[in-house]
Amino acid sequence: MTTLLLLAPVAVPMLAALAYLAFGWRPATAWISAASAALVLAAAITSAAEVATTGPRTALGGLLRVDALSAFMLIVIGAVALLATAATPAHLSAEIDADRATPRTAARHSLLVQAFLAAMALAVSSADLGVLWIAVEATTIVTAFLVGQRRTRSAVEAAWKYVVICSTGIALALLGTILLNYASQHTAAAAGLDWAGLVASAHTLDPGVTRIAVALLVIGFGAKAGLAPLHAWLPDAHSQAPAPVSALMSGVLLSVAFYAVLRVKVIADAALGAGFTRTLLVIMALASLVLAASLLMAQRDYKRMLAYSSIEHMGLLALAAAVGGPLAMAAALLHVLGHGLAKGVLFLSAGRILQTTGASRIEGVRGLAARQPLLAGCVGFGVLALIGLPPFSVFASELGIARAGLASGLGWATVLALILVLVIAAALITHTSRMLLGTPPDGPGAATAVPRLPVSAATALVVGLLVCAGVGITTGPLTDLLRSAATIVTGTP
């Protein structure tokens, strides 16, 4: 039973992908993706319950290992995936009706999304750094086809940019993996790339080799997480990908890549002390926040606006990781969930706006509150959730990060980050209010007959916001899981 439970988050999406390969996309198969995501979430919750009572579980001869941190990440993957896939049938149907896609395109889309979910689940379930690297690289290959799905010049350019920059980052991570394996093999334990073995023998690793390896791994996986300096792929890829894919990339993929950074940080802190990774992460965090703030103020494309917001939130996660300590890491993990839900709602809403108005620029969308009140409400509350207003969970997580940062030796960095967060919040509110209020402009978006938001999409958006608010009010059964996961990241008993 344990093996089946640990395999389910990887195996179920792969079976769903085979179903789309065999039967294509049609009304009878349109909801396979959502069913697959629901099963992944159910398996993740069950695994988390077992891990909480019996400790980490392994399968396939130790190849898979799920502890509290892995279980929490699987819950995030399942929750955001369910949100995105529940809205996907309506999105694809609208694209087909508008002759921007065909049933064959929809089948290929659904197949690739399921392969994407399987790769992310494998990344957070693997017990080995090498397997994690392979899984992260697999996500790059799969999502490159999804980013370029529309086959326009902009989409193809974004896909190539994504592949080139992320492959550069992954190549750096590969070199770091090889060096860390070299350092590990020259210890008495010879743990190889096994996470648990590396942590246990970290104090015996060669400091010089380990320092280079850690720097390469953090920068390499940081590129996939959208952290500066290798962040340039993110705005293009997120703005050109189909809305459900953008929701998954921003809401989950970035966090999966940052999960790899957290795993490396545990080893680095035990081998080198906390100072090395702290300095590296603070630099990347503040650079990401400064970049997001400066570019958001003059942004004109609403999907790119959301993409730059993702860079901001990854910067906050990097700052929390630099601060360290149980409070900062528990807050960071809560932030992963809250950001994933809020950003999923916003990207799905942005996709619907693009379909109904035909405008991708902020100035092309006016009077949304009057013409599409439910959609406008989801966008408005989604932005409020994203900038950290109560009762949404991002408020609680940002408050936790700020408290931990001010209490540590990084008070100056925390204050600077909070100022940048306020600038970003002002920019988001300004841009969003221009879209929601006023009268529709001439041209795209001026039509009076606006299709109603499909029930399935509306349900996904509203439920996503409600869960985000609910987790902000109380973490409930997630409390112990967050505490255990934070303990793993900080290496404290």
Contact yes or no for 440/446 (Cβ under 8 A): yes
Tell me the C-alpha distance between 67 and 72, whole Å. 9
Q: Name the least confident of 283-292, 313-322, 468-477.
A: 468-477
What is the C-alpha separation between 344 and 216, in angstroms, rounded? Answer: 30
The per-residue pLDDT for range 310-355, each reduced to its tens digit, is 999 999 999 999 999 999 999 999 999 999 999 999 999 999 999 9
pLDDT in tens, 41-60: 999 999 999 998 888 998 88
Q: What is the pLDDT of residue 439?
A: 76
pLDDT tens digit sequence for 359-404 = 889 988 988 998 899 999 999 999 999 999 999 999 999 999 999 9
By percentage, how much of the chain surpasses pLDDT 70?
Answer: 97
Q: What is the pLDDT of residue 358?
A: 87
C-alpha to C-alpha distance for 483 and 72, rounded to whole angstroms: 11
- The pLDDT of residue 447: 46
Rounded distance between C-alpha atoms, residue 254 and residue 226, angstroms: 7
Q: What does the pLDDT read at residue 15? A: 97
For residue 442, the model assigns a pLDDT of 59
pLDDT in tens, 257-286: 999 999 999 999 999 998 999 999 999 999
pTM more than 0.75:
yes
Indicate the range of 77-81, 232-236, 340-344 predicted with least confidence. Answer: 232-236
Q: What is the pLDDT of residues 292-320, one digit of tens each?
A: 999 999 889 999 999 999 999 999 999 99
- For position 490, what pLDDT does the model report? 87
User: What amino acid is encoded at 155 in this protein?
Assistant: A
In angstroms, the CA 113 to CA 21 distance is 12
Residue 449 has pLDDT above 60, yes or no: no
Based on its alpha-carbon atoms, the radius of gyration of the chain, rounded to whole angstroms, reads 21
C-alpha 395/C-alpha 387 separation (Å) is 8
For 164-201, write each residue's pLDDT tens digit: 999 999 999 999 999 999 998 888 777 788 888 898 88
Tell me how far apart the alpha carbons of residues 235 and 51 are, in angstroms, rounded to a whole number.
37
Which residue type does 247 have?
A: A
Whether 443 has a pLDDT exceeding 90, the answer reads no
- ∠ CA 78-81-87, rounded to 5°: 140
Q: Are 210 and 272 in contact (CB under 8 A)?
A: yes
How high is the pLDDT of residue 44? Answer: 96
Q: 461: pLDDT confidence band, cut at 50, 70 and 90?
A: very high
Query: Would you place residue 477 in the very low, low, confident or very high pLDDT band (cuts 50, 70, 90)?
Result: confident
- Nearest residue to 488 via CA among 32, 26, 38, 73: 73
Average pLDDT over residues 78-106: 94
pLDDT for res 151: 85
Percentage of the chain surpassing pLDDT 90? Answer: 78
Residue 445, pLDDT > 70, answer no
The Cα 106–Cα 95 span in angstroms is 9
Q: What are the two backbone dihedrals, phi and then psi, of residue 299, each rounded to the nearest 5 degrees?
A: -70, 145
pLDDT in tens, 10-27: 999 999 999 999 999 998
Question: Residue 194 has which token pair?
Answer: 């096994």
Alpha-carbon distance of 387 to 346, in angstroms, equals 12
**Structure confidence by residue, pLDDT tens digits, 119-161:** 999 999 999 999 999 999 999 999 999 999 888 898 899 999 9
pLDDT of amino acid 294:
94
Cα-based angle 301, 306, 312 (whole degrees, multiple of 5): 125
